[in-house]
Structure 1
């Protein structure tokens, strides 16, 4: 179990790291989740052994340039990606007014669990090990869903997340978990440190020095993408494809 506040945000590549890669399979998907249907994008590179499910935070979407960049780097490393919206378009409009749904971690986690079941049922993804990549409140949803799914989820990564909002679920997470926080994001660092102490699984915390909450500084998002892809490479492939 490690906490390492030593990551340099100035990485080589300058944003071109994932500029020229196309997956073998790419499709728009619609995923039933209870009374709603969620829209997503599934991309599978040749030879993928794992799939990373993105759970973004409030004010973001599956089309966010940050999410798209990280997803592309993860695909370059050999894993499939599923980016989807945790809320419907109508719910997003409601949440802009009330701000309530973005903090309904139980609702968001429940939908992530349903999406995971959908992946397990689909022939094209059922043999793939599953990981979660969560940002902001999506990180709390990812950890709560991982606690419910158990060892079916092989790895979790949080980017600038609020894992503290997962509450008591943190102690039940068994998936290896990586928390990534910007070095200038003081409040979120403290909240991540508290959540880190509650995790009983294999875990690490990385601080991207010089980065703020959205990792907009030069090289910061590249650091996040490299850290995340390395974590998923390590744990999604370690035991080969998941068994049915």
Structure 2
């Protein structure tokens, strides 16, 4: 489907299982797209748990050709905010979560800091939350940081970012995993952690 985000339109793939109560928007990292096999793998695990997923390109093809846009966290976050507003407009009853990878995690955290969006949960996989800067202190949504045990630089950045958050958080380290979680079983472990986090925090609220 096509998602209007101001003057631009973005391509996206929305899956809503029957009776879904929540949907997770994916923010991919630099050099990736909505066709990322790793994000699609995670999305399938979430769908199996009854969660909806929206994978979409944060940039148009022309915009993506400019490498500066790929690292423009403010622009990426603005696109995520607009996509969230579009989703709220179409499915107001659904609770919304964010799954961000690499630089996409910074965009997800930046967008989650907007109180009017009412983001229910955030998961960062191998993310660069440091790129969200001072916005981290404004993030109150429950946030899970998933980092590979062998991704030492990113692990340090995530540990520092977690201490700055304004809401509940958890850091999960996948033993033996590097930045792209290419080692056997590591992506599955990350996907299972994300599924558990979202099902716990995006569950329907009581009266």
TM-score, structure 1 length as denominator? 0.83
Report what 1:104 is aligned to.
Answer: 72
Could you tell me which of 104, 112, 123 is aligned with 1:146?
A: 112
Shift of 1:151: 6.4
Structure of greater Rg: 1
1:62 aligns with 2:34: yes
SS at match of 1:217: coil
Between the two proteins, the alignment pairs up a number of residues equal to 207
Greater relative contact order: 1 or 2 (C-alpha under 8 angstroms, separation 6 or more)?
1
Alignment partner of 1:47 is 2:16 = no
Question: SS of the counterpart of 1:60?
Answer: coil
Q: Where does structure 1 differ by over 3 angstroms across 4 or more consecutive aligned residues? A: none
CA distance in 2, matches of 1:61, 1:208: 24
C-alpha separation in 2, matches of 1:147 and 1:115: 15
Structure 2 residue runs of 5 or longer lacking an equivalent are: none
Cα distance in 2 for residues equivalent to 1:234 and 1:66: 22
Normalising by structure 2, report the TM-score: 0.97
When residues 140 and 240 of structure 1 are mapped into structure 2, their CA distance, relative to the original with a 3 A threshold, is farther
SS of corresponding position for 2:9: strand
Secondary structure in 1 aligned to 2:92?
Answer: coil
Structure-2 residue corresponding to 1:117? 85
RMSD over equivalenced CA pairs, Å: 1.3
The equivalent of 1:37 in structure 2 is 9
How many angstroms apart in 1 are the aligned matches of 2:35 and 2:140? 30
Deviation at 1:149, TM superposition (A): 3.7
Q: Secondary structure of 2:205's match?
A: coil
> Does structure 1 residue 178 correspond to structure 2 residue 150?
no
Residue 173 of structure 2 aligns with which residue?
Answer: 207
SS in 1 for 2:183: coil
Partner of 1:168: 134
> Could you say if the C-alpha distance between residues 229 and 152 of structure 1 is closer, same or farther in structure 2, counting changes exceeding 3 Å?
same
